[in-house]
Structure 1
Amino acid sequence: MKKILFPTDFSEVANNAFVHALHFAKVVNAELILLHTFELPIIDNQFTPDNYYAIFDSLQLAQFDMFKNEIPKLRELAQKNHLENIKLSHKLMDGDLIYSIKKAIREEKIDFIVMGTSGATGWESFFIGSNTGAVVTALDVPVLSIPLEAQFTKIEIIGFTTRFREKDKSALRQVIKIAKKTHAVVKCLYVKTSKSDVSEATINEWKTEFENEPVQFSIINSDLVKETILDFISHKNIDILAMITHKRNFFSELFKPSLTQKFSNISTVPVLAMHEE
């Protein structure tokens, strides 16, 4: 059984993503490990009273109580979606969010991460801002990010961006496995720019290799790569977009407001960020 790490701050954004995480767990036959992180304040003990450690104990207890109170709400949400059979476990960790996620990945041998794309207490910096690409590519497992506006619907069409590199094939095969479990079609997009060096022979070789799979290929000539991808999502009714994070800055640039405001529905599409092998 695979393992999905679900970091949560129990916000509306996170609870919406939890529904997606439950359904994704069912598709890939996985258990969910809920992770809540918190950071204790740095206090110079030279200037604090004798109950210095009591302060930290009380703060930790408050976090634990909040965690304990929120878990039943998530279980109720699972029951409401008829997914109460998905195995759930929990981790409460003190420390930086990214450090804690990396530690949990190592300790639990995580296969996927599912999380909302924004939230409270430092979560905005995970997916929003100039460090987005760096953060996503720093993790060793695929990350499925869920915008608040993305209400769960059955996965019928998965978009996959490729440059027809040999090493893209393993990611595509992983996406195909997910697609088959939900009876979805994978629509692959290659944006052929004026600087593209992919030959027709390579493209035809890919089409031949995957001709018996639920895969369709689209080759679009354009130098506006990001805009073309967003247009592709809109016109092909993509339910999830799978991307390989081969460019650290590309992932974050794709979701800059200056671009996304032109395509209002991009905010409703979950994105699966995959990593080069």
Structure 2
Amino acid sequence: MKKILVPLDFSETSENAFVYALEMAKLYKAELVLLHTFELPILDSQIVPFNYAEIYDTLEMSNLDHFKQEMPKLKAIAKEQKAQNIVMNHIMMVGDLIHAIKEVVDQENIDFVVMGTNGTTGWFDSFVGTNTSSVISDVSVPVLSVAHDEKFHKIETIGFTTRYREKDISALEEVLAIAKKMKAKVKCLYVKTSASDVRGEAISQWESHFVNENNLEFFIIPSEEVNETIEEFLVNQSIDLLAMVTYKRNFFTQFFTTSITQKMSQHSRTPILAIHE
């Protein structure tokens, strides 16, 4: 059985991600692992004497009580999504969230991470620097990130960006497998700049791997503005989920830290599935 990790802080942001996780769990008949973390306060023992064990026990009980209080709400959401039969286990850990996620991914053999990301202006502007981008960089499994105000809706079209590299073939195969589960189509985008080194013969050979895929389309768009072209593609092609290979961190970071126009910021709530190269 597959396992999907969902970090929760019981905010609306994490609840939105929880719904996406439920939908994935239904598709894969997967188990959800709900993770909640808390940190110990930094205290100066020279000023106020204290007992570390007592403080830890108090905070642990307080967070455990909070978790128990929230579980009925999560179960109600699951019932509303017709996912009440999904197995849900929870883990509570003290310490840094990123470290906890990495540890749980390894120890529990997690297959996916689904988590929310906060945003104040355009989501893409605020993406890097959040916990979500750190998780994408540091864990070895695919990460589905959901914007803080993005309510779940049926995924009918998945976008996939490529550079027509050899390693992109297996990533697209993975995306196609997900699309078939979701009964969705896939639209593959290559933004061709003047510096692009991919020749037409290589593109044809690359695409030939997918000649029997009926629900797959390829788009090659000449442009020097890679980031803006991807963003426009999301809107123009009604993309419900964007899958990207992370490549090196600097490329992924560059995409998400690029400034965007006011028009595009209104449409930058597309969930993103990050797949490691």
Q: Same fold (TM over 0.5)?
A: yes
> In terms of mean alpha carbon deviation, does 189-198 or 260-269 score higher?
260-269
CA-to-aligned-CA distance 1:35-68 (integer Å, 9 cap, x gap): 0011111334444335443222211211111111
How far is 1:247 from its partner? 3.1
Aligned to 2:18: 18
Instruction: Report what 1:73 is aligned to.
Output: 73
Partner Cα distance (2:131, 2:195) in 1: 27
**Counterparts of 1:220 and 1:6, CA distance in 2:** 36
What's the offset of the Cα at 1:197? 0.8
Q: 1:169 to 1:93 in 2, by over 3 A?
A: same
- % same residue: 54
Q: TM-score, normalised by structure 1?
A: 0.91
Q: Distance in 2 between matches of 1:149 and 1:224?
A: 27
Kept in 1: contact 2:4–2:31 (CA 8 A): yes
Could you tell me which amino acid in structure 2 is paired with residue 94 of structure 1? V
Letter in 2 for 1:235: N
Cα distance between partner residues in 2 of 1:193 and 1:255: 19
SS in structure 2 opposite 1:74?
helix
Q: Does 1:55 align with 2:60?
A: no
Equivalence map 1:112-151=2 (5 Å)? 112-118=112-118, 127-129=127-129, 133=133, 135-151=135-151
Aligned to 1:234: 235
Work out the CA distance in 2 between the residues paired with 1:157 and 1:50.
56
Q: 1:262 to 1:46 in 2, by over 3 A?
A: same
Q: Where does structure 1 lack aligned partners over 5 or more consecutive residues? A: 120-125
**For residues 274 and 89 of structure 2, what CA distance do their matches in structure 1 show?**
24
> Could you say which residue in structure 1 is the equivalent of 2:216?
215
TM-score, normalized by length of structure 2? Answer: 0.91
- What is the correspondence of 1:1-277 to structure 2 with a 5 Å cutoff? 1-49=1-49, 51-118=51-118, 127-129=127-129, 133=133, 135-213=135-213, 214-256=215-257, 258-259=259-260, 261-276=262-277
RMSD over aligned Cα atoms? 2.0
The residue number in structure 1 matching 2:122 is none
Distance 1:58 1:260 in 2: 48
Task: Note the C-alpha offset of 1:133.
Answer: 5.0
Instruction: Give 1:153 deviation, angstroms.
Output: 1.3
Distance (whole Å) between structure 2 residues aligned to residue 133 and residue 249 of structure 1? 12
SS in 1 for 2:101: helix
C-alpha distance in 1 between matches for 2:261 and 2:111: 29
Kindly state the Cα deviation for residue 201 of structure 1 after the two structures are TM-superposed: 1.0
Instruction: Give the gaps of 5 or more residues in structure 2.
Output: 120-125
Deviations 1:82-131 (A, max 9, x none): 11111111000101000000000011001100010128xxxxxx944388
